[in-house]
A = this chain, B = another copy of it.
């Protein structure tokens, strides 16, 4: 245990199937461990990086929970994502060699530092790593597009339902419960992510409770009726929707 906490070892990390080393061969992973030599602890409320800060590395979340936020010229800010263990942060910084968003820890956290020049160098040697890096960035693009869909077409109930389902789904993939979770963020942060005010988030939680779909006690959430929640997130999915059916039959 002591040795592990001093030296990073992707090959023994229980996140390796979710994180950067996914799909690498044993010798490749050894070389990767050489690159991923540093860890960094981030206290709750502290920033891993901030807007404008020079970009040098990507970060793999090892433990803890982060939010990323962008800020407009006139000071409005928006949470663009919540990141949990195994997820990669910082790809926004590549294009201008400086970060385009803030990354803030929502609880005490630890990240693996992935110096980007080293990643690029190793990617030129190992096509598996190269392709995986591309996949990670592509996944982020696809995720962002689904958030656009949420923000552009959904109403408050649908947004919050989709948000909760997404969270438990990701937690479940990490070995946690399928129906229980502890929110690491405030109502205001949820609202910022979902494009609604904290009061609306709170009211919507209350409505879900009244409908007996979830149980909420502060940060703790129990999903009592997953199907009901799914129905709230996609209200027209069951009804014979022409477009949806076309998509299903096409695939």
The answer to the question of A199 belonging to the interface, with a C-beta cut-off of 8 Å to chain B, is: no
**Number of residues on chain A facing chain B (CB within 8 A):** 64
- Report whether B243 and A70 are in contact in the complex, using a CB–CB cutoff of 8 Å: no
The answer to the question of A142 belonging to the interface, with a C-beta cut-off of 8 Å to chain B, is: yes
- Report whether A135 and B95 are in contact in the complex, using a CB–CB cutoff of 8 Å: yes
- Report whether B95 and A149 are in contact in the complex, using a CB–CB cutoff of 8 Å: no
Q: Mark A230-251, 1 if CB is under 8 A from B, else 0.
A: 0000111100011110010011
Q: Which of B73, B138, B152 interacts with A137 by CB under 8 Å?
A: B138
The answer to the question of A147 belonging to the interface, with a C-beta cut-off of 8 Å to chain B, is: yes
The answer to the question of A17 belonging to the interface, with a C-beta cut-off of 8 Å to chain B, is: no
The answer to the question of A177 belonging to the interface, with a C-beta cut-off of 8 Å to chain B, is: no
The answer to the question of A57 belonging to the interface, with a C-beta cut-off of 8 Å to chain B, is: no
Nearest B residue (CB) for A194: B152
- Report whether B95 and A142 are in contact in the complex, using a CB–CB cutoff of 8 Å: yes
How far, in whole Å, are A152 and B233 apart by their CA atoms in the complex?
A: 18
CB distance from A73 to the nearest CB of B (A): 5
How far, in whole Å, are A124 and B134 apart by their CA atoms in the complex?
A: 13
The answer to the question of A157 belonging to the interface, with a C-beta cut-off of 8 Å to chain B, is: no
The answer to the question of A120 belonging to the interface, with a C-beta cut-off of 8 Å to chain B, is: yes
A74-102 interface with B by 8 A CB criterion: 74-78, 80, 91-96, 100-101
The answer to the question of A200 belonging to the interface, with a C-beta cut-off of 8 Å to chain B, is: no
CB distance from A169 to the nearest CB of B (A): 14
- Report whether B138 and A92 are in contact in the complex, using a CB–CB cutoff of 8 Å: yes
**Which of A92, A95, A243 has the largest number of chain B CB atoms within 10 A?**
A95
Can you list 16 A-B pairs with a CB-CB distance of less than 8 A? Answer: A51-B250, A70-B145, A70-B149, A71-B247, A73-B234, A73-B237, A75-B241, A77-B243, A91-B138, A93-B138, A124-B125, A134-B137, A144-B144, A147-B148, A152-B193, A153-B195
The 9 closest A-B pairs by CB, nearest first: A94-B138, A75-B243, A144-B144, A152-B195, A151-B151, A75-B244, A74-B237, A95-B138, A74-B234
